[in-house]
Each structure stands twice: as C-alpha cells, then as structure tokens.
Structure 1
Amino acid sequence: MNENPIQPSLAQRSLSKVPEITLIFWIIKIAATTLGETGGDALSMSMNLGYLVSTAIFAVVFLIAVSAQVSARRFNPVLYWVTIVATTTVGTTLADFADRSLGIGYAGGTSILLLLLMLSLAIWYRTMGTVSVDSVKSPKAEMFYWVTIMFSQTLGTALGDWTADTAGLGYLGGMMVFGALLATLVAAYYWTRMSRTMLFWAAFILTRPLGAVVGDFLDKPLQAGGLAMSRFGASAALMTLMVACILLVPQRAAARNH
C-alpha cells in the first residue's frame, strides 16, 4: 500500500499550537516584548496602580490566556500572541515588584530568575526528553513551554533594567549590547552547527531584555535618556504593528523537521 510521504508532516503540524520560527516570528516577538514593557509601565506607573496590583491584574489575564491556549484544538496566531503579550506584561510588573518594591535589586532579581529559568528547562528536558519548540504538541509540553516563557520574560525585564541602570550603559547602550548578542546568535545559526534548540532559547531570552530597554527608551523622560513618549501611545503603536504583522503575514504551526 502506497502512502503519501507528506501526510506525517501535515499530521504533526496539525497537533502543534505554536508558530513556525521565521523572520516574522522574531519581528512580532520583539514588538511583543517591547509592548510588555510599555504596557506594564502604563498600568503600574501612568495609572498609579503600583507593581503589586498591576502584577495581580496581569497574572489573571495570563492565566486566562494560557488556559485558552492549552485548551485550543489547533494553532491560532492571535491567541498565541495574546498569550505572549500576557507573559511580557506580567513579567514586567513582577520583575519591577521584586527588584524595586521587595528590594532584591536588579542583580539579585536577575540571578534568581536565571536560576528559575534554568531549572524550568532542566525539568522540562528531564520529563519530556527535549525542549525543542517542535515537540510542543501535548498539554504537558505546553505547560512547560509557557512556564519557561514566563520565567524568560520576567528575567528579561530584570536583565534589561540591570544593564541600562546598574551597569550604566543606558538605554541606547543596552540596545547595542543585546542587539550585538542577537546578531552573534544569527551568525551562529547560519555558520555553525550549534544546537538549533539552544540557539532558539538563547535568542528568545535575549529578545526580552532588548524589548525592555527599547520600551524604556521610548517612554522614559528625556533627562533619563528616553524619548518621553506616552506609554499608552507607544503601546498602541506597538500593538498596531503586531496586529498588522499577524494579519498580513500568514503563520503556520511548527512542524518537526527531522
């Protein structure tokens, strides 16, 4: 009996609810992480709700979004990116609450969150045998995926703030540092045989502090080195960019390539 060799790939793709990793994925991801910074600051600072209340609000949104994403039967790009934005906003206010309100500091917050991220990846790998995005095809794998992303988004805020403030590089300096690191990962992807899974997670993690410093650069006061844009205006512009990319550039679910 002859079988169509294309069918397994299509069947595998239909089970995945995370997008294929393409250039548009990274463009939307950077916009989403920047939106997380401006959106989180808009609620906690501009609306004066504080870090704790803002974290509680965004945490509820995050839990609802993740529940919907895990319960969905197929890949939905709008739902996926809403969930990503939910992780970036709650990550922003949670990191700010830990760093500033609890007095842990940027270095302390970065260290703790890096440890939690590494533990999440280690437990995921030990349980599932892989941390590849291509393997996120079951509720258990999805939960590991979103917990890991949550830690990476929160870490990114603390790391971005530490680089710009404590390390004294400023927002432009932070953008140059993280931009250079991401460029190094791109070079490694094209010109080395380094693990694609490792390169993906390294890039995914680094886009968050890049978004954090870009977001701060957009909305912080001129005297602090920012552009003093309205947090609501910057958030609206970033959201518009994301929506345009999602609607105009088709995305499909990830599929195993091996």
Structure 2
Amino acid sequence: MNNNNERILSKVPAVTATFWIVKIAATTLGETGGDAVSMSMSLGYLVGTAIFSAIFFITVAAQISIRRFHPFLYWATIIATTTVGTTLADFADRSLGIGYAGGTTLLFVLLMASLAVWYRSLGSVSIETVISPKSEMFYWVTIMFSQTLGTALGDWTADSAGIGYDGGALVFGSLLAVLVAAWRWTTISRTLLFWSAFILTRPLGAVVGDLLDKPVDAGGLALSRYSASAALIVFIVACLLLFPQRAPEDRSTH
C-alpha cells in the first residue's frame, strides 16, 4: 500500500515559485491558443471545444495511467484544461447568449459542486491527498472547471467592467499578491489558499493573453496569436528544462 501511495503522489508536482510561473504562462497560452483555433482558424467555439476536449481526455487518461510524475505530461494536461476552458467559456458566454455574468455564475456553481462532491466522497480536497485514480479524476475535473471559470471571469472583468486588459492584469495580479502574503504570514488553510490562487491565475492569464493578441483599438497589442502561443510554449519548455520540477517528498529512488 505504501509503495502504491508513493507512486501516485510522485505524479503531482511540488508547489513552488516555478510551479506558479509556469501555471500563469500555461493559462496565458490557453487563451492565445484557444483563440487561435476558434478565431484565427475560424473553426468556432463549438468545434474548438470539441478538439480541445478530445485532447483533454487523452492527456488526463495518460496522466492517470502513468506510474510517476512526468513534468511535460503534467503540464500538457494543464494546458489542455486551459485551452478547453477558453473555448468552452467563450461558447457559454457568447454562443449560448448567457453573457459573462451568466457564464461566470454557472461555472462558479459547477466548480463549487465539483469541490463539494470531491470532499464528500474522499474527505479532503487537498492536493496532498491525490493518491488514487478516483481522487485524480476529481483533481482534473476541478481544474478544468477552475480554468473555464477563470476565462469567463477574466473576460467579464476586462470587457464588461470596462477596466481593460491591463487593468484586469493589475487587479488579478494584486489579488494573487494578497494570497501570497496570506500564505506567508497567516494560518489560513493552505488548501483554501492553493485553490484560490489556482483559480485566480486563470483570469490573469486570460487578460494577459487578450492583451497580447487583441487589436490595438480594443486595448491589445495586436500580436499574432500563433507567434504569441509559440513564444509561450518555448518559455514553458525552457522553465521545465532549466528548473526541473519534482514531486513533493519524491521517493522514486527508494
């Protein structure tokens, strides 16, 4: 039993500064990559969601089936959740006509329901308890909902609230700074702070991604979605190579 726990625990990366840097880059890539497929390729939100959903299911299945932590597969799965989150949120907000407020509310309810069912089933939503295929499924479904919620929240803040993409980046960056301070200097639940930060990095990535590729007259920098996505991929790969990530309490050599 101990050996099995060690094997599964090694599939979850330690939460470090590099983890959060890569997470923000991955969420930004989700925005530019998702928009590249749905908008630049003119495939639409529904087709884009279908494509990224297939990638999501494939990467999650691979992640659950492996024996120990593989950083590139883990982050490929994260990127899959954030790209499908982008197109799914845009489909809900725009194609279904429920608007940013409606989409954000719906996705918040789904996220809370996922966490509630996870907690009721296994007694904890801490990432340190992701030690079985069942808990991994809850983990990835919750992440997918959090990424989708973050997209809708980022778009709602930047567009409907009228503060723009740079203003949205400042808002969400400031909120993350508050969470970092709470992590360092308070005794607030680490699980609550982790999921709060995980959710907030997505709207930060959403507004940064939009800042990069939206037209100048819309408040963006008008960069190519393809080149922005390629640059983010290179950055993520460089981070993983230069700052290797390991599982918490890695015991793979024992």
Q: Do the structures match in fold with TM over 0.5?
A: yes
CA distance in 1, matches of 2:145, 2:249: 25
Superposed counterparts of 1:3-152, under 5 Å:
12-16=5-9, 17-152=11-146
Superposed counterparts of 1:158-169, under 5 Å:
158-169=152-163
Q: Sequence identity of aligned pairs in percent? A: 72
| CA deviation after TM superposition for structure 1 residue 14, in Å | 3.5
TM value normalised by structure 2? 0.95
Consecutive unaligned residues in structure 1, runs of 5 or more: 1-7
Q: Does 1:235 align with 2:226?
A: no
Equivalence for 1:208: 202
Instruction: Tell me the alpha carbon deviations over residues 202-249 of structure 1, each in whole angstroms, 9 at most, x when there is no partner.
Output: 000000000000000000000000000000000000000000011111
Consecutive unaligned residues in structure 2, runs of 5 or more: none
| Other structure's SS at 1:227 match | coil
Q: What amino acid does structure 1 have at the position aligned with 2:8?
A: L
Give the root-mean-square deviation of aligned CA atoms.
Answer: 1.3
Is 1:134–1:255's contact at 8 Å kept on the other side of the alignment?
no
Regions of 4+ moved over 3 Å:
10-14
Is 1:29–1:207's contact at 8 Å kept on the other side of the alignment?
yes
Which of 202, 217, 225 is matched with 1:223 structurally? Answer: 217
Q: How many residues align?
A: 248
Q: What amino acid does structure 2 have at the position aligned with 1:172?
A: D
| Other structure's SS at 1:140 match | helix
| Other structure's SS at 2:15 match | coil
Instruction: Tell me the alpha carbon deviations over residues 54-84 of structure 1, each in whole angstroms, 9 at most, x when there is no partner.
Output: 1101110100000000111111101000000
Is 1:133–1:254's contact at 8 Å kept on the other side of the alignment?
no
CA distance in 1, matches of 2:25, 2:101: 25
Q: What amino acid does structure 2 have at the position aligned with 1:228?
A: A
Distance 1:233 1:121, change over 3 A: same
CA distance in 1, matches of 2:4, 2:180: 30
